[in-house]
Homo-oligomer: A and B are copies of this chain.
Amino acid sequence: MRPSGRQPTDMRAVKIERNVAMKAEGSCLVSFGNTKVLVTASVETSVPGWLRGKGQGWVTAEYGMLPRATGSRTRREATAGKQSGRTQEIQRLIGRSLRAVVDLQALGEVQVTLDCDVLEADGGTRTASITGAYVALADAIAWMEVRKLTKGVVLKDSVAAVSCGIYRGTPLLDLDYLEDVEAETDANFVITGSGKFVEIQGTAEGAPFDRSELEALMTLAEKGIGELSVLQKQALSA
């Protein structure tokens, strides 16, 4: 019944391949089915101006899509001369999501930038980005710990994200592009490894939804995040 043939409660095949970028302090190639995102974590010693001298760090994110990650070619933002509203919205979300599990004091006066570049887009690029960014961040923190650059335990929890939606009346987990385009309601959930909510963004694309539908999506999301957390742990212990 799903275009992909999956059951409503099935995630796509998720893979997280670490250390794919030789020069970054942390990196991974994360795929949710045919969606593929290359994430790097860069540790830099300069923090934003408003944080300078406060002995505290910052975690931020930037997001981009290669022009032909999509079915028809999308204009390159560097050529257009600016990032789209959508891009900015996504990269702000990724940054907030990661900061929710980071102790910025323990990080020290350092900035970690998570660059999430979509190589192939098939729905869920922001949720794959967040899920992979946690892994790249964890590697960058480990890199810092080896060099005794941190001031305590930096990561308070893990974090992952998944999208759910109401598609032809049925709540589905982890929408791909075909499902996403047609879904009446689309919601993104960012949830910690311990099951707490960091962010929830639900949007009625077609008809407005009611509270019970939102509850159903939450339950699906909790299931999906459970699986993603296990995969993150496996990747990081590999």
Interface of A with B (CB < 8 Å)?
21-24, 27, 34, 38, 40, 42, 44, 62, 64, 66-73, 76-83, 85-89, 91-92, 96, 100, 113, 115, 117, 119-120, 157, 187, 191-192, 195-204, 207-211, 214, 218
Contacts of A22 in B (CB 8 A): 34, 120
25 A-B pairs, CB-CB below 8 angstroms? Answer: A21-B66, A21-B119, A23-B68, A23-B120, A40-B66, A40-B68, A42-B67, A62-B76, A66-B115, A76-B78, A77-B78, A78-B80, A78-B83, A85-B85, A85-B88, A85-B89, A96-B203, A187-B200, A196-B208, A196-B210, A197-B202, A197-B208, A197-B211, A199-B202, A199-B203
Q: Assess A78 versus B73: contact at CB under 8 Å? Given A68-B40, A200-B200, A209-B196.
A: no
Tell me whether A66 and B117 are in contact (CB under 8 A). yes
Contacts of A82 in B (CB 8 A): 78, 81-82
CB < 8 Å: which of B70, B86, B115 contacts A68? B115
Contacts of A96 in B (CB 8 A): 203
- How many copies of this protein are present in the complex? 6
Assuming A21-B69, A196-B209, what are 20 further A-B pairs, CB within 8 angstroms? A21-B66, A21-B120, A22-B120, A40-B66, A42-B67, A44-B73, A62-B79, A64-B76, A67-B113, A77-B78, A78-B78, A78-B83, A79-B83, A81-B81, A196-B207, A196-B210, A197-B202, A198-B204, A199-B204, A201-B201
